[in-house]
Amino acid sequence: MEQNMTSEILHRDARYLGPAQVLEVEGQEVVLGIPSGKTPGRVALPGYHPAPGDMVLAIGEPPGRHYIIGVLESDPSAEGVHLSRDQETGRTRIAVDRGDIEFITADGNMHFIANGEIRMTSTSRVEVQSRLGIGFSVFNRLGQVLTNLKLGSSRASMTAPDLDMEADTLKVASRRTIMKSDTLKAGLRQADVEAERLQVTSDLVISKARNVYRRVTELWQVAAGRTRMVVKGTSHHKAHKVNTKAEEDIKMDAKKIHLG
């Protein structure tokens, strides 16, 4: 009873549901061998790359196209490189069952050219090696280089109209650092500088602050052509000893002068 019902359902929905052998492969289009003869077929199983000799599970209605919905037995001798093309999307795929892929040119260059994007995706890491150098460039329609990154054997350089860097922590370590710029602006909540010697050379230094606190353990010395200090409030000077020496005059101008 159950077998009759199953046969009736299969006869109503699809005249054939059973094993088939892959005879020919052209991308995702195949030629299948079923009990009634040869029939065109198509892969409907994601991730499956057909190869001649495979035994698959096919469903369809002769003489129309049959669809592969399962794999019963894959021919081990057919394992290797599979080239397929999807006619609907226009995508060509090279699939390798197992092992590595190497592109080798003994004497010549290798070019990958695409009118669209070129993407490289890996679940592990992507590594690029060269004996001489590595270069990355972005150019406009006229062929002019806009952004350029060069990695040489002893030097790395980057050229770009604008350069943005964002990181939670940025560390730069070098034996010698040289920075050149027409304008340098920095917005910091807090800046800590530790140096054995800090030397600043400038034609003009302008500093503005709400409060300034400086602590010098030993010597504080100022050598200047002349000095001027303007204090709106009270100016306090306290020292263990005070020595004031002038080669010419000492002038004091005040409404009152208190000594003692």
Which structural domain, as residue segments, surrounds residue 45?
A: 2-96
State whether 29 and 73 are in the same domain. Answer: yes
Asked if residue 45 is part of any domain, the answer here is: yes
Asked if residue 186 is part of any domain, the answer here is: no
Structural contact between residues 45 and 71, judged by C-beta atoms closer than 8 angstroms: yes
Tell me the whole-structure pTM to 2 decimals: 0.54
CA separation, residue 154 to residues 108, 147, 158 (Å): 25, 20, 14
Domain boundary residue, one of 96, 120, 137: 96
State whether 36 and 88 are in the same domain. Answer: yes
State whether 20 and 91 are in the same domain. Answer: yes
Pairing of strands 92-96, 55-60: unpaired
State whether 73 and 143 are in the same domain. Answer: no
Structure tokens at 254: 């005040």
CATH number at residue 31: 2.40.50.140
Asked if residue 246 is part of any domain, the answer here is: no
Asked if residue 197 is part of any domain, the answer here is: no
State whether 19 and 92 are in the same domain. Answer: yes
The whole-number pLDDT of residue 94 equals: 77
Asked if residue 56 is part of any domain, the answer here is: yes
Number of domains into which the chain is organized: 2
The whole-number pLDDT of residue 76 equals: 59
Asked if residue 188 is part of any domain, the answer here is: no
The whole-number pLDDT of residue 27 equals: 75
Q: What is the mean pLDDT of each run of 10 residues along the chain (260 residues)?
A: 44 72 87 91 86 89 87 70 70 76 88 90 92 93 92 93 93 92 91 91 92 93 93 91 91 86
State whether 92 and 132 are in the same domain. Answer: no
Residue 200 burial (C-beta neighbours within 10 Å; 0-12, 13-18, 19+): exposed
Q: Which sign does the torsion angle of CA 126, 92, 25, 39 carry?
A: positive
Element (H, E) at 8: helix 2-13
Asked if residue 76 is part of any domain, the answer here is: yes
State whether 92 and 6 are in the same domain. Answer: yes
Asked if residue 133 is part of any domain, the answer here is: yes
Eight-class DSSP state of 170: -
